[in-house]
Chain A
Amino acid sequence: MTYEFLEHTADIKFVARGKSKEEVFKESAMALKETMTKGIEIKKIEEKDIAVEGKDYESLLRNFLEEFLFLFDAEDFILSDISEILIDGFKLMATVKGDIIDNYKLTNDVKAITYNEMYVKETDKGWESQVVLDV
């Protein structure tokens, strides 16, 4: 139940780990949030429901994370936490909490979620993902 950032020349790369698929997806979202907020604490004021689909776990994760970039640009919403998440096959539903970005001074732009070096896999200890963010 954690994530860590790795070296990458131009962009941001992280590995997330969890006991279940759901946990590793949630931790991946938390790593994305950390990249966008750089430690600024976000209040849980607004709630949003997210539903995305993929054709494998990588595309599902990519589509899930991309949703937060969309909410950020189009609905001025920044993620704080994920209160519920359920993965059924390659479909994901989640309830997320966060706040309107006007209330914070955020300076880190994430342009896109890339497939570069991306994986989602089951390990001896649970699940693990790796993602490179284009920033």
Chain B
Amino acid sequence: MGITSSIGCVKMEIKKISEYEWEIPKTDGMNVPGKIYASEKLIALIKQDKSLEQVSNVAKLPGIINASIAMPDAHQGYGFSIGGVAAFDMEKGIITPGGVGFDINCGVRILATDISVEDMIAKKKELLHDLFRTIPSGVGRGHKEKLSFEELEAVLKKGAKWAIEKGFGNEEDLNRCEEYGNIVEANPADVSQKAKSRGLGQLGTMGAGNHFLEIQSVEEIFDSNVAEVFGVEKGKVVIMIHCGSRGLGHQVASDFIREMENKYGHENLPDRELINAPINSELGKKYLSAMNCAVNFAFCNRQIIMHHVREVLKRYFPESKNHLVYDVCHNIAKIEEHSVDGEMKKVCVHRKGATRSFGPGRKEIPEVYREVGQPVIIPGSMGTFSYLLVGTKKAEELSFGSTAHGAGRVMSRSQAMREIKGEDVKKELCDCGIDLEAGSLKGIAEEAPAVYKDIDEVIKVSDGLGLAKKVAKFKPLAVMKG
């Protein structure tokens, strides 16, 4: 059955393949078809903005393999849609900052504790306030003391490893990060002075926008075996940290969009934000290296923030124990091996607002989790459930080992500002027993639960298709926003 969707002035044909699979047939200029993993409910929302047009634009890029893919939480971005995944051939393919996003390695980590929900509820208001005072959030100046350029370059090279060397955590933390918290193919010389200057004062800061820190209770366990391997137990407390590479990463993206445009021109592109360079070109390699530096900065950033969280926890629960469950990237391009036409091949996978979801056995997964698959963390919006899932072999077949990354916006910021009052959101959360500390009431309105798609629906599609299987569900107890 063909459904014609009117997207701006572009008419786009989409075909339903199965309950949760939709296809944009390969038409003019597309090298591969578009593929969207969504339910009827989610596809109706996805059709409302320019996501589908963006999926078809990505399909036009050289060297793209199999399909231009969108996750259930897809919404309009720039270049790629948010929730966009595409893999490119290493010989004929390209790498594009528009397939990674400006907030390079925006990601999430979960710290699991042995603190019971009851004990936390008694102290959470005070504890949250303490976290808000300890961890710089919001915008602009993070720390009075900035890093030196030498220290910053070490961070760009070593990622979370730098933090461990400085005493912000332990070796075991590194074992529980995507890429072990450090991509080694990263040369700080490929990052501009401008980008470095923006990063000097921002290490260990959350930033604003959709970034947050949340104290959550483990509400439900769906897979007790895997939950045990991940060290997550019902009735206990976990802390979720969501942030990225701050101004440094933003500047790296901007710099390379400019450099690639100067070198290759944008005249033949379907969208100027899809400017790209061949993966094996000098500029393509330089972008990958600079992007990896920003990835490392973000790993280090989340590690330092987690260290501060641990310090605060110690003050309130001196006897408590905790461990990092995992740290995942949501915005990244990586060289990975995938099966292409029945053969294992190196490809460049772009995930923009998508989570890697590797199944059991992959060598990239830390040994502690290799038998079950990697942990996949999908945060909900403020005040709604978040989920822990496990990666699958199916995801490797369907989506180059990827799944959704969150709820996905459905209402614009300006509409939210008009229709939602920050005070009302705070009160509603309070009525549900959720404490909130935020930089501004306006910021709360812009990130209110109503502006996002239904996270439960996104998870239903991921779990139903097998892109990642549900392990545990978390309920927010207290939220800190920038």
B202 in complex: contacting residue of A58, A73, A78, CB < 8 Å: A73
A10 in complex: contacting residue of B77, B262, B271, CB < 8 Å: B77
CA distance A82 to B141 in the complex (A): 23
Q: Which residues of A contact B271 (CB under 8 A)?
A: 115-116
- Judge if A2 is at the interface, Cβ distance under 8 Å: no
- Judge if A50 is at the interface, Cβ distance under 8 Å: no
List CB contacts (< 8 Å) of A55-72 with chain B.
55, 58-59, 63, 66, 69-70, 72
B208 in complex: contacting residue of A63, A109, A112, CB < 8 Å: A109
A38 in complex: contacting residue of B194, B198, B273, B442, CB < 8 Å: B442
Q: Which residues of B contact A102 (CB under 8 A)?
A: 141
Asked whether B102 lies within 8 Å of A74 as measured between CB atoms, the reply is no
Asked whether A106 lies within 8 Å of B140 as measured between CB atoms, the reply is yes
CA distance A134 to B76 in the complex (A): 12
- Judge if B409 is at the interface, Cβ distance under 8 Å: yes
Contact with A along B387-428 (1 / 0, CB 8 A): 000000000000000000000011111110000000000000
Asked whether A101 lies within 8 Å of B141 as measured between CB atoms, the reply is yes
Asked whether A111 lies within 8 Å of B209 as measured between CB atoms, the reply is yes
CA distance A73 to B82 in the complex (A): 25
Asked whether A108 lies within 8 Å of B443 as measured between CB atoms, the reply is yes
Q: Which residues of B contact A6 (CB under 8 A)?
A: 414
Assess A63 versus B258: contact at CB under 8 Å? Given A74-B200, A108-B443. Answer: yes
- Judge if B49 is at the interface, Cβ distance under 8 Å: yes
**Which of B34-42, B248-256, B472-480 faces chain A?**
B248-256
- Judge if B103 is at the interface, Cβ distance under 8 Å: yes
Q: By CB atoms of chain A within 10 A, which of B82, B140, B414, B442 has the most?
A: B140
Q: Which residues of B contact A113 (CB under 8 A)?
A: 254
Assess A107 versus B78: contact at CB under 8 Å? Given A66-B254, A73-B247, A116-B273. Answer: no
Residue of A nearest to B198 (CB): A73
List CB contacts (< 8 Å) of A76-124 with chain B.
76, 78, 101-102, 105-109, 111-116, 118
How far does the Cβ of B29 sit from chain A's closest Cβ, in whole Å? Answer: 19
Q: Which residues of B contact A42 (CB under 8 A)?
A: none
Number of interface residues of B (CB under 8 A): 52
Q: Which residues of B contact A1 (CB under 8 A)?
A: none
Residue of B nearest to A102 (CB): B141
List CB contacts (< 8 Å) of B236-275 with chain A.
246-247, 250-251, 253-254, 257-258, 261-262, 266, 271-273, 275
Asked whether B78 lies within 8 Å of A111 as measured between CB atoms, the reply is no
Assess A70 versus B251: contact at CB under 8 Å? Given A10-B75, A114-B273. Answer: yes
- Judge if B375 is at the interface, Cβ distance under 8 Å: no
How far does the Cβ of A90 sit from chain B's closest Cβ, in whole Å? Answer: 12
List CB contacts (< 8 Å) of B254-312 with chain A.
254, 257-258, 261-262, 266, 271-273, 275
> Could you list some 7 contacts between A and B, CB below 8 A?
A6-B414, A72-B247, A73-B140, A106-B139, A107-B208, A107-B443, A112-B253
Instruction: Name 12 extra pairs, CB < 8 A, besides A10-B413, A107-B482, A113-B254.
Output: A8-B412, A9-B411, A10-B412, A11-B78, A55-B262, A69-B250, A73-B198, A74-B247, A108-B440, A115-B272, A116-B77, A135-B209
